[in-house]
């Protein structure tokens, strides 16, 4: 079998398939398996997949256990409400990790399983069939009974199965940076909310660093690339009205990444004969619920179960198991941005008051809302 893409989704899929006895090759366009420096939140639903692959302990060693999600008024840093993640038991903890560390862990496990990772392999197209064809940019071809396209946001396989679809700009841009922990950041994800913008911060690597994602509403943007960098002065200017720990963190940012956030439709077809889409290739997800990678991990498990069935592969089951759940997650993520960005002071005051009261009177209930998300166990599919 061939997996296109050596990101979190592709490596996890290779592992899940190899664990079920498949012979797998990963084709990755880059010259090395590595990640841009940034953090990622892995929630209990994603962690269950890592646990089931035997990577739970190693993952806990490289990640920070999140104790809470704290929503704050960005102007003064005052806490509006708090989601106590310590109510989740240790086995299903919520964790913060550096993406590079997670990728390294997965790549090592993949190699230990005997999976070949071939680098500098840029795929041009994927053609379904009894033996699916992977057409490389060099013109060479590779065939396999199953090709898993885990080639991310700009997947070549998604349009091959679904036709081209135009993403649309959400009117938001995001800066991303990892900075030294100059504020003694507690082990929690803080959402600093303000009119038309918000910033998320959480600690990484034993608390030595802090991950920052700062989102601002904007009129226009030209390109969906991931590789833009920006002058840190622009980021500081955008969050100039913010207080609490925000100014000290932003003071240490050197070269933030900046990109436009685009919405893509969830792919209608996730599979064709001998081809399956996985992760962002099937369903690019906005970062407002921190679930893109978690969904890719869940996909990887479900796909391997469906592809390696005793009676033969059932890729239709894979789509059936995954599509509605992923669509619900994406809808929830899409809904979060406006809640964080309330501009009208009156509406903001009422919303913050409501959140505060709900958090104090029924904290369990707030967590309960996440039961459908964090409580889901894809590894029950066998
Ligand atoms: P990718 O990670 O994009 O990997 C695709 C791989 O395929 C890459 O290695 C690429 O080089 C390779 N590739 C692409 N095209 C080709 C080709 N033609 N030929 C060969 N190889 C190719 N998710 C969470 O769960 N938690 C979070 O906290 C979180 N935070 C986020 C914060 C931000 C700001 C953003 C933007 C996203 C965040 N996400 C988060 C989402 C998450 O990063 C993605 O959903 C996840 O990385 C998708 O994994 P993937 O393997 O599908 O794709």
Give the ligand 1 atom nearest the CA of 281.
Answer: 52
Q: Which pair of structure tokens corresponds to residue 290? A: 């921190």
For the stretch 267-290, pLDDT in tens is 999 999 999 999 999 999 888 899
Q: What is the pLDDT of residue 36?
A: 67
Q: What percent of the chain has pLDDT over 90?
A: 72
Given strand 132-136, what is the order of strands in its sheet?
A: 123-127, 132-136, 141-144
Residue 166 sits at φ, ψ, to 5 deg, of -85, 120
Q: Is the dihedral of CA 342, 346, 349, 355 positive or negative?
A: negative
- Cα gap 246→202, rounded to integer Å: 12
Q: What is the pLDDT of residue 169?
A: 86
- Cα gap 241→83, rounded to integer Å: 25
ipTM confidence score: 0.96
**Ligand 1 center from residue 295 Cα (angstroms):** 11
Q: From atom 12 of ligand 1, which residue's Cα is the shortest distance away?
A: 5
Q: What is the pLDDT of residue 337?
A: 67
Residue among 2, 7, 135 to mutate when testing ligand 1 (max atoms within 8 A of CB): 7
Low-confidence residues of the chain: pLDDT under 50: none
**Ligand 1 center from residue 100 Cα (angstroms):** 12
Q: What is the pLDDT of residue 358?
A: 63
Q: From atom 18 of ligand 1, which residue's Cα is the shortest distance away?
A: 123
Q: From atom 32 of ligand 1, which residue's Cα is the shortest distance away?
A: 287
Residue among 2, 8, 125, 333 to mutate when testing ligand 1 (max atoms within 8 A of CB): 8
**Ligand 1 center from residue 97 Cα (angstroms):** 15
**Ligand 1 center from residue 152 Cα (angstroms):** 5
Q: Which pair of structure tokens corresponds to residue 313? A: 């592969």
Residue among 32, 151, 298, 330 to mutate when testing ligand 1 (max atoms within 8 A of CB): 151
Q: What is the pLDDT of residue 32?
A: 85
Residue 170 sits at φ, ψ, to 5 deg, of -80, -5
Q: From atom 16 of ligand 1, which residue's Cα is the shortest distance away?
A: 151
Q: How far is CA 133 from CA 27, 137, 332, in A?
A: 13, 13, 36
Q: What is the pLDDT of residue 346?
A: 65
For the stretch 147-182, pLDDT in tens is 999 999 999 999 999 999 888 888 889 999 999 999
Let me know: does 256 contact 199? Beta carbons within 8 Å. no
Length of the chain: 382
Q: Which sequence positions are flagged as catalytic?
A: 202
| pTM, entire model | 0.94
**Ligand 1 center from residue 76 Cα (angstroms):** 34
Q: Is 320 helix (H, G, I), strand (E, B) or coil?
A: helix
Task: Give the pocket of ligand 1 (CB within 6 Å).
Answer: 4-10, 27-30, 40-41, 121-123, 150-153, 156, 174, 176, 213, 279-281, 285, 287, 290-294, 296
Q: What is the pLDDT of residue 371?
A: 83
User: Could you give the maximum distance between any two Cα atoms of the chain, in Å?
Assistant: 63
Topology, domain 2-64+100-166+264-341: FAD/NAD(P)-binding domain (3.50.50)
- Cα gap 134→156, rounded to integer Å: 10
**Ligand 1 center from residue 307 Cα (angstroms):** 22
Q: What is the pLDDT of residue 223?
A: 65
Q: From atom 3 of ligand 1, which residue's Cα is the shortest distance away?
A: 152
Q: What is the pLDDT of residue 219?
A: 80
Q: What is the pLDDT of residue 344?
A: 65
Q: In the chain, what are the domain boundaries?
A: 2-64+100-166+264-341
Q: From atom 4 of ligand 1, which residue's Cα is the shortest distance away?
A: 7
């Amino acid at each position: 079998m061939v997996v296109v893409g050596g990101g979190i989704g592709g490596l996890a899929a290779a592992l899940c398939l190899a664990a079920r006895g498949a012979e797998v090759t990963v084709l990755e366009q880059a010259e090395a398996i590595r990640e841009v420096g940034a953090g990622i939140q892995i929630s209990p639903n994603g962690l269950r997949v890592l646990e089931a692959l035997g990577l739970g302990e190693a993952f806990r060693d490289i990640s920070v256990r999140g104790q809470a999600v704290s929503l704050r008024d960005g102007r003064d840093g005052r806490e509006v409400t708090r989601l106590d993640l310590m109510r989740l038991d240790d086995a299903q903890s919520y964790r913060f990790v550096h993406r590079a560390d997670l990728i390294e862990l997965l790549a090592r496990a993949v190699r230990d399983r005997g999976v070949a990772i071939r680098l500098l392999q840029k795929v041009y197209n994927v053609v379904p069939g009894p033996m699916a064809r992977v057409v490389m940019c060099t013109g060479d071809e590779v065939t396999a009974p199953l090709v898993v396209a885990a080639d991310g946001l700009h997947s070549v396989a998604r349009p091959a199965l679904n036709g081209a679809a135009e993403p649309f700009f959400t009117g938001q841009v995001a800066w991303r940076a990892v900075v030294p922990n100059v504020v003694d950041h507690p082990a929690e994800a803080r959402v600093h909310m303000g009119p038309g913008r918000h910033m998320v911060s959480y600690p990484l690597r034993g608390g030595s660093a802090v991950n920052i994602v700062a989102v601002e509403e904007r009129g226009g943007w030209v390109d969906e690339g991931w590789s833009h960098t920006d002058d840190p002065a622009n980021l500081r200017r955008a969050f100039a009205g913010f207080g609490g720990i925000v100014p000290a963190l932003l003071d240490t940012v050197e070269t933030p990444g900046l990109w436009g956030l685009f919405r893509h439709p969830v792919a209608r077809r996730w599979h064709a004969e001998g081809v399956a889409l996985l992760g962002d290739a099937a369903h690019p997800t906005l970062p407002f619920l921190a679930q893109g990678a978690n969904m890719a991990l869940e996909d990887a498990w479900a796909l391997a179960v469906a592809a390696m069935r005793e009676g033969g592969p059932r890729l239709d089951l894979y789509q059936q198991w995954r599509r509605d759940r992923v669509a619900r997650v994406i809808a929830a993520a899409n809904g979060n941005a406006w809640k964080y960005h309330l501009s009208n002071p009156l509406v903001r005051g009422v919303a913050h008051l409501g959140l505060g009261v709900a958090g104090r009177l029924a904290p369990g209930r707030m967590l309960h809302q996440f039961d459908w998300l964090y409580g889901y166990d894809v590894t029950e599919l066998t």
